[in-house]
Amino acid sequence: MKNRYLFILLFLTVIKAWGQVPKTEDSLKVYLEVQPRDTNYVRALNEYSFIKVKNGDFKKANELIDEMDQLAQKLDYKQGLYYTINMRGVVEYSNRNPKKAMEYFLKAHEVIEKYNLPKERLQNSLNNIGIIYDQMGDRENATRYAVELIKYQEKHQLNPLKSWPYDQLGTNLKFYKKYKEALIYYQKGFEIEKARNDFTGMAIGENKIGAVYDDMEQYDLAESHYKKGLAYAEKVNYKMLQSELLTNLGLIYRKTKDYARSEKCLKRSMALCQEIGLRIPLKTIYHNLGDLYFFKQNYALSEKYYLDALEIAKETEQPDYLYTANLALAELYEQTEDYKQAYTYRVASEVAKDSIFKIETAQSTEEMLRKYETEKKEQEIALLNIKNEKASLVNKGLIGGSLALVMLAGLSVVYLNNRSKLRRLQESQKLRNKIASDLHDEIGSTLSSIMLISDMAQKKEGSDQRMFSKINSDSKTVMQSVDEIIWSISPVHDNLQGIMLRLREFAAPLAESGGFSFEISAGPDVGQLTLAADVRRNLYLIIKEGVNNLAKYSGATEAKVHFERQKNTLIITVQDNGRGFDPGQESVRNGLKNMKSRAEEIGARLDIRSSASGTVLALEVPF
């Protein structure tokens, strides 16, 4: 319930009209009243519609876009057609409909290529498509477009530059907690917007820089950048961006226990969203207000805002929103000892969690099938190329033709063999998905209900505390075991990124209760390495045991886990600055023996070095 939710607000570029078209809202209104309905009029409509989007007046923006569409078609103005489709994408993006926005931006890209529009249009298109990929959580494609855009800008010496690709690289570095490097890229993006004197871009740049300092827990610096961003957003009357920055300031003040200023910022943000009719950001603000009043122990107001957030979550029918809203209410009612209500909302949160799991599984299966189809097509193309080569060789002589036929036959055998392997892999992946889903739906939900009921009964007076304590403890143990089995066999988590995310979930409460800092880092491209299910499970259990041991026995204040690839070897180190121990000493505990046994099982080498200044566990895994 206390998790910070920061909704993404990236700057979608809109093609600016040339010097003869004014920039301000008032001057554009006058201009459109007197200007003949020519191509400049279309450009002015484009400018005016974007201003309306920034103000949150989507109804008026859509009216202007419809007018722009009709006039562009009447004039057969190709760039006007692009403006129209692009602006429809901007509206959908601003309404948090990334899939619909992507449809429009891809259509806009097709128009650019079809009519060979200027390079600046393609620059704009690459920028917007990349932003939508990022909003959809497709980090791989977002980064691909960012790199492509940087190369395109440099190749054609386009000016002004787009700042987004530098921001995207900064976001990737921030994701891996490489904050100093992320700040360099974010600052570069900010300087590009500053050189253009674009207050909207500058506001977004300050917001991103502030978020890095926020994650680094340097709240004074984060507050300073958020305030600068807010001032820029107010200059251009960008209400959505003002709301985003006010929400971030509210979260900063809540963390520093300045509840009065936190409440003031969140209420201002709420008023802006209500004014322009934005529902999804409003859900986030309601949730944050619920958190704020929960910390202030004003449970009545906390309940009100959590229920408001849940209402919007039900409207959007998005499982992640439903999960967080129901979970917040369950924890609130547990705190106020209303266990009947707590149970109702806890069950609802579990149902939403099941939906999230099923969606992730479906997406994983869809991605696997897409990769399979892509590989199959590549093989078919290879076969076609070989056939063409064979035809050419026949003309040169019988020997050449015979060789081509032999090659074709060999390739056909390889192709059929690979296709069979891919089909078996596909069936295996589907089976793993089904097993994981069945375990999660049938056993997991039942155990969860038993655990909740026993936990609530345990808190009631007059009940057999030892019996319910035993039921609750055993249920939690089995739940944890089932959860780990589900995780280990589900293809959703086949890459190393899955291990790193699960380790963070496991280690965070240990670090908090043990009073030590915990950090996970990785070398370039390590997170996308794919591992077999048995290797992944044993790796996770080895590292988990190492982290658990250091939390229990080392007395450390710092602990780090690092993943690094060196050629065909994956090297993992678990390091702490604790009191150390003698690895060769006999122990009644089986932890070290199990770790070594698991390492041998996957052909890995485990090395443990310990001294009075700390312990280093190094695991080398060939792949």
Are the C-beta atoms of residues 71 and 42 closer than 8 Å to each other? yes
In DSSP terms, 619 is beta-bridged to 572, 606
User: What is the percent of the chain with per-residue pLDDT over 70, rounded to a whole number?
Assistant: 73
pLDDT at 16: 42
Average pLDDT over residues 472-485: 58
Q: Residue 581 — pLDDT band, cuts 50, 70, 90?
A: confident
Residue 268 has pLDDT above 80, yes or no: yes
Contact 287, 5 (CB under 8 A): yes
- Pairwise CA distance, residues 353 & 332, whole Å: 18
- For the ranges 253-262, 390-399, 522-531, 579-588, the one whose mean pLDDT is highest: 253-262
- Reduce the DSSP state of residue 580 to 3 states and report it: coil
Nearest to 102 by CA among 74, 157, 141, 65: 141
Of 232-241, 448-457, 497-506, the one with minimum mean pLDDT is 448-457
Q: Which residue has the higher pLDDT, 171 or 491?
A: 171
Pairing label, strands 517-522, 558-566: parallel
- Side chain identity at residue 353, one-letter code: K
User: Using one digit for the tens of pLDDT, what is the confidence trace for 129-170?
Assistant: 999 988 887 888 888 999 999 899 989 998 888 998 999 999
pLDDT at 184 over 50: yes
Q: Is the pLDDT of residue 91 over 70?
A: yes
Here the tokens at position 55 are 């103000």
Structure tokens at 239: 């209400």
**Residue 470, both tokens:** 């035993």
Please tell me the distance from the alpha carbon of residue 166 to that of residue 190, in angstroms, as a whole number. Answer: 9
As beta bridge partners, residue 559 has 518, 576
Name the pLDDT band for 587 (thresholds 50, 70, 90). low
Q: How confident is the model at residue 12 (pLDDT cuts 50, 70, 90)?
A: very low
User: What distances in angstroms separate CA 54 from CA 9, 234, 241, 242, one per listed residue?
Assistant: 12, 11, 8, 10
- The confidence band for 404, taking pLDDT boundaries of 50, 70 and 90, is low
Strand order in the sheet with 517-522: 517-522, 558-566, 569-576, 614-622, 605-611
pLDDT band at 433 (very low <50, low <70, confident <90, very high): low
- Band (523; pLDDT cuts 50, 70, 90): confident
How many other C-beta atoms lie within 10 A of the C-beta of residue 1? 17
290: amino acid identity, one letter: G
Average pLDDT for residues 266-283, to the nearest whole number? Answer: 89
Per-residue pLDDT, averaged over 556-565, amounts to 90
Find, among 185, 205, 209, 207, the residue nearest to 197 by Cα. 205
pLDDT at residue number 14: 47
Looking at 91-100, 106-115, 241-250, 431-440, which range is the least confident one? Answer: 431-440
303-311 long-range contacts (CB < 8 A, ≥24 apart) are 303/329, 303/332, 306/332, 309/283, 309/284
pLDDT recorded at residue 318: 76
Q: Which of the residue ranges 29-38, 79-88, 140-149, 312-321 would you say has the lowest mean pLDDT?
A: 312-321
State the virtual CA torsion across 379, 384, 387, 392 in degrees, nearest 10.
Answer: -130
The answer on pLDDT for 520 being more than 80 is yes
Average of per-residue pLDDT values in the chain:
79
How many other CB atoms are found less than 10 A from the CB of residue 478? 15
The larger pLDDT score, comparing residue 461 to residue 236, is at 236
Across 592-615, average pLDDT: 87
Rounded Cα distance between 139 and 337, Å, is 42
Question: CB under 8 Å to 506, separation ≥6 — which residues?
Answer: 544, 547
For 609, the token pair is: 């070095």
DSSP H helical ranges for 55-163: 58-75, 78-94, 98-115, 119-135, 139-156
pTM: 0.54
The predicted pLDDT at position 281 comes to 84
Tell me what pLDDT residue 438 has.
46
Tens digit of each residue's pLDDT (9 = 90 or more) over 357-381 = 655 555 555 555 555 555 555 555 5
- The pLDDT, as a whole number, for residue 154 is 86
**Nearest one of 206, 197, 190, 191 to 249, comparing CA atoms:** 206
Indicate the range of 244-258, 461-475, 561-575 predicted with least confidence. 461-475
Tokens at residue 533, please?
Answer: 């299910």
Crossing angle (nearest 10°) for helices 119-135 and 98-115: 160
Which of 413 and 23 is assigned the larger pLDDT? Answer: 23
Three-state DSSP state, 56: coil
Question: In Å, what is the CA distance from 219 to each residue of 254, 327, 602?
Answer: 11, 28, 44
Q: Given the structure tokens 């001294």, which residue do they identify?
A: 611
Reduce the DSSP state of residue 191 to 3 states and report it: helix
Q: Which helix (H) or strand (E) holds 8?
A: none
**Rounded distance between C-alpha atoms, residue 379 and residue 420, angstroms:** 13
Cβ neighbors of 428 (< 8 A, separation 6 or more) are: none
pLDDT band at 3 (very low <50, low <70, confident <90, very high): very low
Residue 498, H or E segment: helix 496-514
The pairing of strands 614-622 and 517-522 is: unpaired
Residue 483 has pLDDT above 70, yes or no: no
Does residue 197 register a pLDDT over 50?
yes
| CA 447 – CA 477 distance, rounded (Å) | 10
Cis peptide before 36 (omega within 30 of 0): no
